[in-house]
Chains A and B, each alone.
Chain A
Amino acid sequence: MQFTSAEEALNYAIKREIEAARFYTQLAARMRKREMQEALLEMAEEEKSHRDRLIAVRDQGIFTAGEPQVQDLRVADFVVMPEITDDLDYAQALILAMKREAAARELYLELARVSRDEALSQVFTRLAEEEGLHKRRFEAEYEDRVLEGN
């Protein structure tokens, strides 16, 4: 993967968010349970809001901090990726989502690390932070319910 400008990097990130929204929409269509169809469509909507935020960043040229940097809960590090079937439950959907966000975060951290351009490296670092926030949102919801007694 080669990037020469911040705009290119952001276009790539926007494309990934669009793909993510499509992924959840298609997955929702496969679900047997109505409540899971709705939950996955909500996740698709979240990805669209991430896309919109990145489009605004690209068009305005300002990458402001979304929220203060948060501690990494690292829930995604230790859970097993579920097999994707038409019978997913919400806990499995959350694992799937946090794992996807974790993978995206890792990718941007790596791109930041290998980037020789300082400005570009900073854009990737900010993108990694964004993905870290998305990951934490899923981890927190999983923790509040599935790990409530632990």
Chain B
Amino acid sequence: MIEVSDLGYTYGTGRGAVPALANINFCVPAGQTCVLIGPSGCGKTTLLYLLAGLLQPVRGEIRVGGERVTKPRQRTAIILQDYGLLPWKTVWGNAALGLALRRFSPRQQEERLRPLLAGLGLTGLEKRYPAELSGGQKQRVAIARALSLEPDILLMDEPFSALDALTREGLQQTLVAIQNQRRLTTVLVTHNIEEAVFLGQQIIVLTAAPGQIKGVLTNPGAGSQEYRFSGDFHHCCTRVRRLLQ
């Protein structure tokens, strides 16, 4: 479970200080997906960095499983916008990076990665560099790298924004399947309303900078393919759109 209480963050200090987030309170139960949506520059990505322990809050605190987050957690994986793949490493090198950094032997890396890459349709691409991959393939490598560390929390920053509609929907399905299989607690940042409603069992709408919570929607139908074509889906999209306006 992720608990965020009275969270605030400011970039810089003194006169040049720019408040990015204020009074953020929410809670994501274990195994659920929470989507953060809001206008550009509202602090969504900052919030994700704070959840990952890559930034430290100026106010308030974040707890995961009851423990306060003060540095990057071993079992929190984050996938950043533009995938965060290293251009000088091959698919295998990128996917294995987390394992290599945690001193897994090449055999252990092999044992963990082979099935993951196969499951994500990346077998045969191991020796390619990111520049030789499509956007969807890059995103799958980033997912493989994140999952290789067997996380319990997955944080994603606009993971599918640069993809065409069909690839995006395919990857959304893949994400749902992975979550159902691994019971991951996921926090995903997007500015796509349909994506937010399809994936988020909880949708948090943020205001313009400094980001504050404008509304929290519960969306129990999220994650199933049929839901995308239901009236509830469109109704929920309308509610999110209204909140954003």
Q: Do A and B bind each other?
A: no
